[in-house]
Amino acid sequence: MTALRWDVRVHRWLGLLLGVWFAFAGVTGAVLVFWKPIEDLEFGAPVPRAGAALPLEALVAAALARHPGGDAFRIFLPERAGETPRVEILRAGGGRVSVHVDAVSGAVVSERAWGGATIHWLYDLHSGGIIGRNGVVTVGVVGVALVVLALLGLVMWVRYAWRPLRDAIWPRAGLRGLRRLRNLHRPAGLWFALPLMLAAATGFGLAFPEIVRDLLPPLLEAAPPSRRVTGSGKPMTLAEALAAAETAMPGWRGAWIELPEPGGAPDSVLRMRPADPARLDGIAQVFVALDSGELKVTPAAPVERVRAWIMALHNGQAFGLAHQMAIILLGLVPALLFATGFLAWRRRRRSVAAREQQAERHETQRGRGGDHAKPAGEPAAPA
């Protein structure tokens, strides 16, 4: 039996040991491309009413009325027409819940406790968050193994797969057995190796945001300086703070508001994103002193733009519906690669085992000799 090269062994055993996880992560990632519509399907999509909106403080109070003793720490603003604001609450008994409140009537139209839907469970499984930070770290590290697996696959393709070349570039009909499996495995590995490495690399960036934050700034231009906007000295509502922040940052809109802590200073932090959804400039920040109206405006740093691109590339949000469809297709590829690779490995092992058994029988027969003396009285074999 011919000894295998180290790269072939590493590629094979990485695929066999981690292939099931890669397949599972790919399928769940494909489903999560449309996680928001799926969540709406499970909980029911809130339908907002037409009319003048209530103060944001009233919406927060309406949400807290459903969860006495809870801590409302954030309010997400509608991203597009037909959506309702939602208030994030840490419940007194533990856990987090998103409360959707109609902006006109103040009625609670939906409550979504994290973990209360199948899509939440799939998200936690995909990210590793189901077992906490250690799970997220594990998923990020395993993503590095996927990059190694894809790189070794490309090396092996260059060395072996071009024989015959037509079977290694594109799947074709009429093949059988091991050749058919290889004809599915090798072209898929060739065409999707780079996209899979990109998905693994962006997943690593999402699992380790501190690495992105610490290592990228030296490679980018300096972050823009913050600036202060003097307030009127009068108390501001959340809506007035939002309007002031959007005025101070033309072309940006409020994404969510970090609410003042109960019993603390009347300060709020507004997270801003570009008004044009096609722009991936990350998240900017505006600190607002609600008691005086003073603003501290911090534009999005270059590293924020990188992090926004990492998120958008991984989730399929960078290039519209075509990108989402591509991510769904890419999510199915690891399952195809694992299935064809595993079946080819098993078929080859059976073939090798059969040849070894045949060789062993042949050696046994040779050891016994070809012609044995016949017992007395037994007729000789015909010539």
Max Cα-Cα span within the chain: 125
Least confident of 112-116, 218-222, 315-319: 218-222
CATH number of 46-120: 3.30.505.20
Residue 57 has pLDDT above 90, yes or no: yes
3-state SS, residue 132: coil
- Structure-block tokens of residue 71: 């801590």
Q: Strand pairing partners for 289?
A: 267, 294
- Position of tokens 């064809």? 340
96-101 sheet: strands from edge to edge = 108-113, 96-101, 86-90, 71-76, 252-258, 267-274, 284-289, 294-298, 227-229
Residue 296 has pLDDT above 60, yes or no: yes
Residue 235 has pLDDT above 90, yes or no: yes
Rounded (10°) angle between helices 320-368 and 177-207? 130
User: What's the pLDDT score for residue 349?
Assistant: 87
Higher pLDDT, 338 or 211: 338
Which residues fall within 8 angstroms of residue 354, CB to CB, at 6 or more apart? Answer: none
Instruction: Considering the chain, tell me which residue range(s) the CATH 3.30.505.20 domain(s) occupy.
Output: 46-120
- Position of tokens 């939002």? 242
Percent of the chain with pLDDT over 90: 63
- Judge contact between 54 and 104, C-beta under 8 A: yes
Provide the pLDDT confidence category of residue 1 given band limits of 50, 70 and 90. Answer: very low
Straight-line distance from the first to the last Cα atom of the chain, in angstroms, rounded to the nearest whole number:
38
Residue 221, number of CB atoms within 10 A of its CB: 8
Residue 265 has pLDDT above 70, yes or no: yes
- The CB-side HSE value for 206 (13 A sphere, CA atoms) comes to 22
| Interior/surface letters 225-241, b for 16+ CB within 10 angstroms, e for the rest | eeeeeebeeeebebebb
Residue 380 has pLDDT above 50, yes or no: no
Provide the pLDDT confidence category of residue 162 given band limits of 50, 70 and 90. Answer: low
User: DSSP E strands: which ranges in the chain?
Assistant: 71-76, 86-90, 96-101, 108-113, 227-229, 252-258, 267-274, 284-289, 294-298
User: What's the pLDDT score for residue 187?
Assistant: 93
3-state SS, residue 106: coil
Percent of the chain with pLDDT over 70: 94
Least confident of 26-30, 159-163, 275-279, 352-356: 159-163
Sign of the torsion formed by the C-alpha atoms of 330, 335, 338 and 340: negative
Mean pLDDT within 323-337: 97
Provide the pLDDT confidence category of residue 250 given band limits of 50, 70 and 90. Answer: very high
Residue 301 has pLDDT above 70, yes or no: yes
